[in-house]
Every structure is written in structure tokens, then in C-alpha cells.
Chains A and B, each alone.
Chain A
Amino acid sequence: MTSPLLQVRDLKVHFQVRAGGIFFGTYLPLKAVDGLSFDLSAGETLGIVGESGCGKSTLGRAILQLLPATSGTVAWLGKDLTALDRAELKAHRRHMQIVFQDPLASLDPRMTAGDIIAEPLRNFETGLSSAAIKAKVREMMEQVGLLPSMVNRYPHEFSGGQCQRIGIARAMILKPKLVVCDEPVSALDVSIRAQVINLLMDFQRALNISMLFISHDLSVVRHISRRVMVLYLGRVMELADRDAIYGKPRHPYTQALILAVPIPDPDKERAKPRVLVAGDLPSPLDPPSGCVFRTRCPRATEICARAVPVLESAGVGHEVACHHWRD
């Protein structure tokens, strides 16, 4: 394999959360991301799935340096981003962009669509004339399927799907090398979802973008990703190629997750074994000892409470963090 574009090593993002007490509250560490390592090569799409509180959004922001990492490294072409100063970081930002979940909230309500899309250009290509910027914005609007004549409209005048197209245009206008998509289609209607997924995939192929596709929707992730990483309470449970994850999941959490997804086919859906994961997600402030999934795991034994499972290889490019994956 060629040398990876992005190398994340033992990345930790912890927050201090105030707990209890009116005057002398104590602070508890919330381990949103707790020791993640993975590589991303050029033109690859890595899907990141997990339930709420698994740290998937925090991970995306920490990679883009929108949140400070507590420890660990995020290496971009071999250069550690966490060690850069502000000016150096800004120079790198033009290669890394993000598409957000809430299409309307991610657009400044006081700016026109054209200004929003042009913002990265104004920040990075200061030499461009305003006519050149205008031309680029129009071209971009056409590419994302918006009418260029809508350039002077404001976000509230667009539908959710159109707003997301504006967000994508803004992210793609600098032709970035890495795009973090944080639940880009979760807030959209079903019929719009497919349009936006296709748009993202078209860009990914055309510009050979590396993509981190963060989602709780396993069906969408399956469609768009080449590899998939399953997170639970800030830790990697399983990381493998798409077909391995969906075809031969090794981790009990991955298996449960896949079974829980409803399939839009009454025959298949009703024939499915009804195995439910018991209980609720534990509080991330007070994660279980050992394996974080053990409190809900059907295979948990005494060792799971004692030792944190390390990622083991379960095949080519297939890693599992479970004491019992061989069973």
C-alpha cells in the first residue's frame, strides 16, 4: 500500500465535565475519544459508525484540529498536525474540509449562498479577483446541482437538501484532499439523501478525495465506504474492509449493530433472528472497566471486566478488539 495520507496514532480527546456540587463541583474526565489509531490512504473512504456518545463526531473534529487533542498524533503526509502553530495549521486547512450534519445550522444565516461558498477562496486565494471568485462559485454551484442564478439567496430560502449542497460546494471549492463528512445525510429526507450521497461519491471519485464518513446509519456507510471502523464509547471495536465488516463481523457489538438495523423488506426483516442487545449505553463519564462493551455483551466473561482487549488481527486488514472473537 502507498504511504497513507493521514496517520492517526493513539489519539485521545478528553473533556473535563463538571459533576455535582453547587460550589465545589468536581471535574470528571469524559473520554470522548480514547486511544484511536488508523490510517487513511489517498482516495479512500473510511466509514466511522457508532451510536451516540461513541466519539465519532469528536474524532472528526480532532483530526481537523477543530478540537484540541489531549494526546496522540494526527499526521498529515508525515507531519504531525497537533504540533503545528496557527499559521502552519492554516496552510494545511485548505486541504482538509468538513461537511456537517445540520445543513441549515452550518450556514451563516446572514450571508448569501454565493458568499458562503466563496469564503474558503477568500481566505486562501487572496490573489483572486472578485470576478474570478464569482466565476468559480457559479461553476461550483452548477457542479453541486444548484442553479447559479440562486447565488444571491440566503440559506433560509433553500430547502434542507439544497442547503447541504451549499455546504458541500463550500467544502469542495478548494479541491481538498481530505473531507470529513459528519452525518451529512442524517437530517435529510429519504428522497434527498440518495441525491446527496451520489453527489459526495461523485466528488470523491472525481477529485480522488480521502473521506471520513461519519454516520450512525450502517446502510449508508455500507454503500459509501471502502473500509469501516466501528466505535463504542471512544474505542475501536472493529476495523475492516466493508465486505468483511458486513459479511463476517467478528465483534459481538458489530454483529448486534448489524442485526438491529431494520431492512426495508418485510420478508427479510421478519425472518431475521430477534436478538436484542440488552440495556442502555453506559454513561461515558463512568465507562465499564476492561472492555467497554461488556455490560451489554452476550459473550462477556470474567476476563472482559479485568483486561482491556487490544486490537488483534483477524484476517488481512481486519482488526478486532474482543477477547472472544474466535468463539
Chain B
Amino acid sequence: MNGINPSAPAAAAEIAAELSGRSLWQDAWRRLLANRAAVAGMIILSAIALASVIGPFLLPWSYDAIDWEHIEALPPEFATGHYLGTDSLGRDLLARTLFGGRISLMVGLLATTAALLIGVTVGAVAGFVGGRTDQLLMRFVDLMYSVPLTFFVIILMVVFGRNFALMFLAIGAVEWLTMARIVRGQTLTLRNKEFIEAARASGGSTANIIVRHILPNVLGVVMIYVTLTIPQVILLESFLSFLGLGIQEPMTSWGMLINDGAAELEINPRTLIIPAAFMTTTLFCLNFLGDGLRDALDPKDR
């Protein structure tokens, strides 16, 4: 078949040297790194996460240890190791804030992961398979949407008793709904793209097409949504804790700490300000990162 190569593109020769291509992910990553707010967000976020994970091991005081001699100690007390002072029960505030951060971030991550897995699966299947499957799954989503969150959590508590894991379940059960809707919408537009048709014409099965073509293409949107879901979950957890439906003493989370701090705002505002500062910084960073991701992955820019 010698005749088939009528014209090797001449212009291609100049770029032949570069062997590997730049994927859309690499492009997006480059754009993200060019976004200062997003990069700052990433750095601060990693610092807070790192501090929350290893911080409690390094501090002299544990989050639940009560130091009877230093109740309501004012910071900074380097001699006693209460760098940010103590609360009204004499517990070290820094240790509690870092430990609370651990719980809050964990709830954020785990619940979001749960929401991600369920939401993406349901959304992709509903969107791609369509028809009755789609109807059934989406009506279920609608049904779940109409159940008020607090009511749902209280029911769970009544049935299963108070339980740490319940928290993930309750939050995950609510957050996946939006994810499913988003992924379904994306999948519907993708389904009619010619490259999906091409994949079918090339003999791909439904599962194969979802995994190879649909998922990688919805991932961008999903990632943006994830960075925006984590702060939502953290807020939700603090809201539930605030209502007394969340974490139990002496365990703590940022939400709980803020709740406690709010009670003694007039006597000891530090107990509110410190955990609140950590939490808002985290939420800020996540939102900046989410915005940065959206700009980086936005197809309009391409």
C-alpha cells in the first residue's frame, strides 16, 4: 500500500522531536500552578492537614488530658506547654484544635469519598444506560432529597444509637445526591458525543465505555465538585455537632470546639477564635483550590 502515504505533513516535521504529548491533565496542572491563590491554598491546606495528623503526637498535652493547675490559662505559656492556653476545663487548646481538625478533615474526606463513589457510579450508570434505569435511580435521588437532613440523622440515631460512623453515613448519604445529579448531567452530554459512538462502533461494551471514556471525562467536573464538597461536609458536621447530634465528648471536632467556644465567648474569646480561625482558613483554602481547579479544567479556555 505504497500509495497511501500521499503527503506526510511537512509541518509535522518541526515538532517531531517532542515525543510525548501533553495531556489535558498536564495542561490543567500547569494552569493550576499558575494560579497563585490556588497554590497558596494548597500549601496552607497541606500545612494544616499535616499539623492535624502529626501535631497531636508531638504536643506535651493530649486532647483529653485535664490540667487542673492551669484552667483558662492565657497564652502563650511555654513553660507549661499550653502554647495557646487552655479551655475552661484546663484542656490544652492547641491539642484540641489539632485533634478536632483531624476529625473534621477525616469526616470531610471520608464522607466526600463515600459521596464520590456512590454518586459517580449512580450518576454514570443512570446517564449512560438511560431509559428505565435512569428514571428509577433519579426518582430515588429525588426522594432522598426531600428528606430533611436533621430528621434523617435523628432517625438514624434512634435506630442505631449514637455512633461515630453514623456521621459519615448520614453526611455521605446526603452529599452523594448532588454528585449523582452532576455526573448524570455530564454523562448525558458525553453520551451523545461522537467519540462515544466511535467507541461503540469499535466494539466496546457498556462497562468498557463507562470506565474508559465516560469516567475520565467527567473526572474534571467531579474533582471541582469534590473540593467544594469537603468544606460543605465539614460545615455540616459542625452543624450536627452544634445540635448535639455529632461527635461526643471528650472527642472533638472544629464544630464542637466552636460550639463550646461560643458558650464562653464573653469570658474567654480565644476558645472560639482559635478553632474558628483554623476552620475558616481551611474552608477558604479549599474554596480557592476549587476555584483554581475550575479555571484550570474549564474546557472553554481550550
List chain A positions with a Cβ less than 8 A from chain B: 61, 64, 66, 90, 93-94, 96-98, 100-102, 105-113, 119-120, 123-124, 142-147, 149-150, 152-154, 156-157, 161-162, 167, 170, 195, 198-199, 202-203, 206
Contacts and interface: CB of A to CB of B under 8 A. Distances in A.
Contacts of A170: 198, 202
B12 A123 contact: no
A101 B41 CA distance: 43
A156 B24 contact: yes
Nearest to B204: A123
Nearest to B5: A145
B203 interface: yes
B21 A152 contact: yes
A106 B198 contact: yes
Nearest to B26: A154
Interface string B161-203: 0000000000000000000000000000000011101111111
Interface string B198-213: 1111111100100011
B280 interface: no
Contact of A120 (B1, B16, B203): B203
Interface residues of B, number: 37
Interface string B16-54: 100111111100000000000000000000000000000
7 A-B pairs with the lowest CB-CB distances in the bound complex, closest first: A153-B21, A106-B194, A123-B203, A120-B202, A110-B216, A152-B20, A93-B203
B298 to A, nearest CB: 13
Given A145-B5, A145-B8, A110 B24 contact: yes
A23 to B, nearest CB: 17
B3 interface: yes
Nearest to A150: B12
Given A146-B9, A202-B4, A154 B21 contact: yes
Contact of A149 (B16, B204, B208): B16
Contacts of B146: none
B197 A66 contact: yes
A162 B302 CA distance: 18
B4 A123 contact: no
B21 A100 contact: no
Contacts of B133: none
B203 A109 contact: no
Contacts of A106: 194-195, 197-198
A6 B114 CA distance: 50
